[in-house]
Amino acid sequence: MDAKAQLLAQLPLRTEQDVVQCRRLARELAAQLGFSGLEQTRIATAVSEIARNAFVYAGGGEAELRYAEGPPLALWVRVSDRGPGIPALEEILEGRYDSKTGLGLGIAGSRRLMDRFSVRSGPEGTVVEMGQMLPAGRTPPQPGQLHALRRRAPPQGPVAVLDELGAQNAALVETIGALEERQAELDRLNRELAETNRGVVALYSELDVQAEALKRASQLKSQFLSHVSHEFRTPLHSVLSLSRLLQDEVDGPLTPEQARQVKFIRRSAEALSELIDDLLDLAKIEAGKAEVRPRAFGVPELLATLRGMLRPLRSDDAVQLVIDEAPGLPLLYTDEGKLAQILRNLVSNALKFTERGEVRVSARRGSGGRVVFSVRDTGVGIAPEDQERIFEEYTQIAGPHQRSRGTGLGLPLSRRLAELLGGSLSVHSVPGQGSTFTASVMGLAPGRTDAPPELELAWRLEPGLQPVLLLLGEPPGPGEALSPEPPALREAGLQLLPVAGEERARVALGRLRPAALVVDLAQGPEALEGALALLPEAEAAQVPCFGLGEGAHPGLRVLPREALADGTLLGLLRPPPPTAAGEASAHGELLIIDDDEVFRYLLRRTLDETPYRVLEAPGGPEGLALARSHLPRLIFLDLVMPGMGAPEVLEALRADPLTRDVPVIVQSAKRLAPGELTSLLARAQGFLPKQHLARETVLHQLEGVLGPLPRAR
């Protein structure tokens, strides 16, 4: 109790009438202080219960009622006695004592009714203090009102029990009315809550329907883009290949005007092909299907490759393309293709908006294991209000100095790719002075916690020689001999380089561009598993893969173990000179199964250089009929065809004893994921991307399956 609380009333508790009078006085003072009817009943009930305890169990006591000005404002009641104390006080306060009188809960019940409650009990007596706080915002009584309250002395003489009973009944009726009002309000709130719940359930149901519709729309969008991209790519690649044939002047020289027209055709087709690729990449990222394919590579090697790729983008000598050296940077382990795509987009964009000066590409070590690439130009610059807009899809900032229009996809795609690699892409630009685009990527691909293996090998590539990687399961021990390197290998410009483990082989495959990948099958399952895991990357880099030993393994051409020493492998890597034309008729036939007439024409023109007769089929059923009647040496099979595609044709070929051993190279304009390519190579002997339909690529694939090819005259 507040020590400064003002005394309002004090009365002894000697008789039952004193207890009733204490209850009535507590209710009246509570009413004068502004407590509600329900609060008055709570206070009066708690006070009468504690006063009754003092009278019944201690033989009497004393009650004080005080007012504390706070804060907070409160009515305090103190009931004391000189009885023997309460022996079971702890059980009472914990609710474990079963009282058969009063409220049935005694002290515990009173404590629940009041805001503040404390009790001290011992052999010398018991003191109970209770307080009820005035509701917030209630006006405190004025000094005159308190004086009037203090003058309310307890009534003298017998208490009119009937009057007090009537007052209690009136308070009870008022309390019941208040409870009924509260119950009615609670019922109303429950009805509103039920209606709200029904609305929420309906809303969630509608959201589920919309989410399903959005999911379906996203799937349809992906299917549409995949289908349309294939339908676009096939004729585009045909246009590119035909324009390449014309530029190579295979059928005779072109006039200057014709050469110029063919150049425009090829440039337009390349631009449209890039647009389709950008659209597909964005769609994959939005659908969460974009894959990061990390591999180890050095920044200097990446920049050196980009230097050769980017220089042709310059339209005149007024703009210099400068690529700074980047010594001392760590080996990166991320998706080299996506990083190169970011830099190509940034350089291409910079050249479009730079009339004179330079475009400079540089790389430096960043914080937190990042590598930062910068593309700085001396172009027109970008206004501050446009520096974020340029990263929005399909947004183009038109200006008088723009020499060619883009699609508005390059920068948004580049930022998405940078984020996919765990980095970011930003721009700093001053109008009239130029722009600097900064792309940062994690040195270690997102999701990887292990550092890439460094290319620490026990050999050094000699100048002028191309490596042949020999994949081992484990590094050789002291005094352990490797397969001997035949002298003829050096004479042919090749060098045998042993590599231990899949990761080191992946590093070497990316950095050294070997002539072949050879796995020693006697080295155990680790070497074989490593080679099979590297097949997609080797296929993409057009590196043939061989196994030395026994058995059949999809994607590997298995040769006898002595093939390295007796020159068989060398003959496959460095074909002998062309044979005489008279031998051409004995070499058999090749079959092209493709629904695209233009592609069949282009592929046939390339195959005309070989001594094989070329057959054509416009679809799967026709191709199967020709395969069974002619038994060709090899089949070029289109992956996607109407009615009967490559999977069905392959199944039919392998089910027929006549054709089950005919090798098949599948061709497609579709970009295959590593898993798709691995699955395909388990049933076919090679994969030919239609976008890479160059003479060297086709002949390389053919030689990889059939061996050295005599050339037709």
Give 701's contacts (C-beta < 8 A, 6+ positions apart): 665, 686, 688
Phi, psi of 129 (to 5 degrees): -120, 130
142-176 pLDDT tens trace: 776 777 766 654 554 455 555 665 566 566 666 66
Residue 568 identity: T
User: 676: exposed, middle or buried (C-beta count within 10 Å: 0-12, 13-18, 19+)?
Assistant: middle
614 contacts 252 by C-beta, under 8 angstroms: no
569-611 pLDDT tens trace: 777 776 444 433 333 345 789 999 998 888 888 888 888 888 8
Q: Considering only the C-alpha atoms of the chain, give the largest distance between any 2 of them, rounded to a whole number of Å.
A: 146
- The answer, yes or no, to whether residue 447 has pLDDT greater than 70, is no
Quickly list H helices, 140-160.
Answer: 143-150
The confidence score (pLDDT) of residue 254 equals 85
241 vs 361 pLDDT, higher one: 361
Nearest of 690, 693, 692 to residue 232 by alpha carbon: 690
211-258 pLDDT tens trace: 888 878 777 776 676 666 666 777 777 787 788 778 877 777 888 888
What residue spans define the domains of the chain?
A: 5-156, 164-290, 295-398+407-442, 466-474+488-572, 589-706
The confidence score (pLDDT) of residue 521 equals 81
* Cα–Cα distance list, 412 to 188, 310, 381, 426 (Å): 54, 20, 18, 11
CA distance 242 to 398: 34
**Chain length of the chain:** 713
The confidence score (pLDDT) of residue 453 equals 47
CA distance 606 to 41: 105
The confidence score (pLDDT) of residue 376 equals 94
CA distance 500 to 530: 10
169 vs 301 pLDDT, higher one: 301
53 contacts 102 by C-beta, under 8 angstroms: yes
506-540 pLDDT tens trace: 777 766 668 888 888 887 777 788 888 888 777 76
CA distance 183 to 179: 6
Residue 400 is encoded by which pair of tokens? 């008088």
At residue 375 the predicted structure's pLDDT band, cuts being 50, 70 and 90, is: very high
- Determine whether domain 164-290 maps to CATH 3.30.70.890: no
The confidence score (pLDDT) of residue 454 equals 46
Mean pLDDT over all residues of the chain? 79
CA torsion sign for 521, 525, 530, 533 is positive
- The answer, yes or no, to whether residue 694 has pLDDT greater than 60, is yes
The confidence score (pLDDT) of residue 361 equals 92
The confidence score (pLDDT) of residue 635 equals 95
Exposure letters 420-452 (e unless 16+ CB within 10 A, then b):
bbbbebebebeeeebbbbbbbbbbbbeeeeeeb
- Determine whether domain 5-156 maps to CATH 3.30.565.10: yes
At residue 78 the predicted structure's pLDDT band, cuts being 50, 70 and 90, is: very high
At residue 13 the predicted structure's pLDDT band, cuts being 50, 70 and 90, is: very high
694 vs 82 pLDDT, higher one: 82
- Which CATH superfamily is 466-474+488-572 part of? Response regulator (3.40.50.2300)
295-398+407-442 folds as Heat Shock Protein 90 (3.30.565)
Q: Indicate the range of 147-151, 205-209, 217-221, 686-690 predicted with least confidence.
A: 147-151
The confidence score (pLDDT) of residue 584 equals 36
Beta bridge partners, 78, equal 64, 129
Phi, psi of 475 (to 5 degrees): -60, 145
Exposure letters 121-140 (e unless 16+ CB within 10 A, then b):
beeebbbbbbbbbbeeeeee
User: 659: exposed, middle or buried (C-beta count within 10 Å: 0-12, 13-18, 19+)?
Assistant: middle
- Which CATH superfamily is 589-706 part of? Response regulator (3.40.50.2300)
Give 625's contacts (C-beta < 8 A, 6+ positions apart): 617
The confidence score (pLDDT) of residue 343 equals 92
- The answer, yes or no, to whether residue 477 has pLDDT greater than 60, is no
378 contacts 354 by C-beta, under 8 angstroms: yes
Q: Indicate the range of 63-67, 317-321, 482-486, 636-640 predicted with least confidence.
A: 482-486
The confidence score (pLDDT) of residue 451 equals 47
294 vs 26 pLDDT, higher one: 26
380-439 pLDDT tens trace: 888 888 888 888 876 766 655 555 555 667 888 899 899 888 889 999 999 888 999 999
The confidence score (pLDDT) of residue 100 equals 59
The confidence score (pLDDT) of residue 586 equals 54
Are domains 164-290 and 295-398+407-442 of this chain identical in fold?
no
- The answer, yes or no, to whether residue 629 has pLDDT greater than 80, is yes
- The answer, yes or no, to whether residue 319 has pLDDT greater than 80, is yes
